[in-house]
Structure 1
Amino acid sequence: MALPEQLPLVTVYIATHNRPELLARAVGSCVAQTYLRLEIIVVDDSSGPEHKQQNQQLLQQYPQIKYLHLAVASGAPVARNTAIEMANGEFITGLDDDDEFEPGRITELVQQWYSHPGCAFLSTGYTVINEQQRRFSFAKRARAISYQQLLYANLVGNQIFTLTSSLRAINGFDPAMPSCQDYDTWLRLSAVFGSGYRIGSCSYILHHDHQFERISASAKREQGYQLLLKKHGEFMSAAQLASHQVNSALHNNQPLPWRAVFQLPLTQQLRVLKNLIMRRAWSLIFFSKGSPQ
């Protein structure tokens, strides 16, 4: 399907809190996008006075960016939802304040949207940069992602591209979730609007090369994961519940529950095996010092 003559406005939202130096990189990657009809909204989740001032000084360089400082810190879901309500774009996507976009990301997402009519959302693979500045690409295979497949695992990642109206229709992100807010949102979105599609590219750069906390590495992760299962477990089959039991063991570096592994379909068993191999390889690379770049 061809692009419309009038390109649609796309909103990018960034929630931030006390990380102006990282925000500068994220904002810079948005401003550098090849797609021109872009609205950028930064919602500051009540950064302290010094960091607020640094954010304001940064964004004075970019008068086209909308900036809102929340008086009370309420968490990333509230900040994101605030941006979603402010958005004027027909389409919307997010960026974590410690990550960045490749320059052609939004252009590719818009083009792919019109190439996959009927999709509820798009996602992409991603590139991880570790503390040694090594780059690794993940989820590079293009594929459709159905609601039933999502019930096995978060096959999307931490960002999607979708209609702003769709995110508003499901009330955005759940502020009650201490973690797994993204996965919870994608499940609810897919349950209402149907399947999505993952593009076979890695235009999202995820940074593990800084000392700030990522929610995925915090103590809140397990609490959020258990709440996710309470919310969505009733819609899961025995095999899908087994998948989450296995996923939990993998994420927490615990022994694999092999009984649960053997409850999975063959495709899911292969996914677990691939995950184990990748984690082993990642561990060897991540902890090796002085090895070739």
Structure 2
Amino acid sequence: MSLISIITPVYNSEKYISENIRSVQNQTYAYWEHILVDDCSNDSSAEIIKACASKDQRVKYHRLEKNSGAGVARNRAIELAKGNYIAFLDSDDLWYPEKLEKQLLFMKKNGYHFTSTDYDIMDEKGIKLPKYVKCKPLVTYSRALYKNPIGCLTVIYNVDFFGKQYMPSIRKRQDYALWLKLLKKTNGYGLNECLASYRVGNPSISANKLDLLKYEWKIYRDVEGFSFFKSSFYLVSAIVLKLKSYF
């Protein structure tokens, strides 16, 4: 049976982390490890996670020596991971009970190594909002350059195929940079079923949209190594696509 390592960065998530861990413990697929890396929280997140870990050895707590951002926390968790597959779930987001079982079957049945799913949106109180995000059935590297089409909370990648793959050392948009790296080796595939819930409005995760564009520029220029003009083309394209999504 394949072990799935679930990667969760944590920073001041005391309001959500118990529910987050329960959504993993409620999975119909039970062969997993949940690695939660604390980015130096100053609330009760650590105590809550440790209490869960004391009752379930699959829940594992680690703490960074200094506050370094979600990307560094995720990479530390990946270093510690022992699974055949890596999955991502941020500390304020949730999974539906059949998420791992259905997605892993989808991957194995079709020989896919990098997949995502649909997800819905909830507010800070967990109330479902009318917005629903459908994943793309097929994602190529060239298509993904225009806009990140993949929700981090839905991703699973095959470690046996890729090896352990890490996020670049930038404070934001590290997940997008990792997807581009994976897409250079194989396409991404989407399971069009809602298996996760993304929480909006958490200040420890959410960020100013203009600030995020700065990090997309860093991905094009520093991570992908594109020229100034090629980077400008993709950044403008990303802005246009984001504006269209609001109208």
Shorter-chain TM-score bucket reads: 0.7 to 0.9
1:178-189 aligned at under 5 Å gives the runs 178-189=171-182
Structure number with greater Rg is 1
Unaligned runs of 5+ in 2: none
**Matching residue of 2:15:** 21
Spell out, residue by residue over 1:181-227, the C-alpha distance to the aligned partner (whole angstroms, 9 max, x if none): 11111001111x2111011111110012x553433446641321221
Higher helix residue share: 1
Structure scoring higher RCO (CA < 8 A, sep ≥ 6) equals 2
**Matching residue of 1:109:** 103
Unaligned runs of 5+ in 1: 1-6, 254-271, 281-293
Q: Distance in 2 between matches of 1:153 and 1:218?
A: 14
> Is 1:152 equivalent to 2:143 in the alignment?
no
Given candidates 1, 4, 8, the residue that maps to 1:10 is: 4
RMSD (CA atoms):
2.7
**Matching residue of 2:42:** 48
Aligned AA for 1:202? C
Q: Distance in 1 between matches of 2:49 and 2:2?
A: 28
Given candidates 74, 81, 87, the residue that maps to 1:87 is: 81
**TM-score w.r.t. length of structure 1:** 0.74
Given candidates 110, 115, 118, the residue that maps to 1:122 is: 115
Q: Distance in 2 between matches of 1:60 and 1:125?
A: 33
Q: Distance in 1 between matches of 2:186 and 2:136?
A: 17
Spell out, residue by residue over 1:70-126, the C-alpha distance to the aligned partner (whole angstroms, 9 max, x if none): 222221111111111111111110100010001000001110001221x33001111
Q: Report if the CA contact (8 A) 2:146-2:237 is conserved.
A: no
Aligned-residue sequence identity (percent) comes to 23
**TM-score w.r.t. length of structure 2:** 0.86
**Matching residue of 2:213:** 222
Q: Report if the CA contact (8 A) 2:37-2:61 is conserved.
A: yes
> Is 1:60 equivalent to 2:51 in the alignment?
no
**Matching residue of 1:212:** 203
Higher strand residue share: 2
> Is 1:199 equivalent to 2:194 in the alignment?
no
Spell out, residue by residue over 1:157-182, the C-alpha distance to the aligned partner (whole angstroms, 9 max, x if none): 22411112556554x0112x221111
Task: Figure out how many residues of one structure are paired with residues of the other and give that number.
Answer: 244
Q: Distance in 2 between matches of 1:102 and 1:169?
A: 26
Spell out, residue by residue over 1:23-66, the C-alpha distance to the aligned partner (whole angstroms, 9 max, x if none): 11111100000002111111111222744334323433433311
Aligned AA for 2:144? L
Q: Report if the CA contact (8 A) 2:9-2:74 is conserved.
A: yes
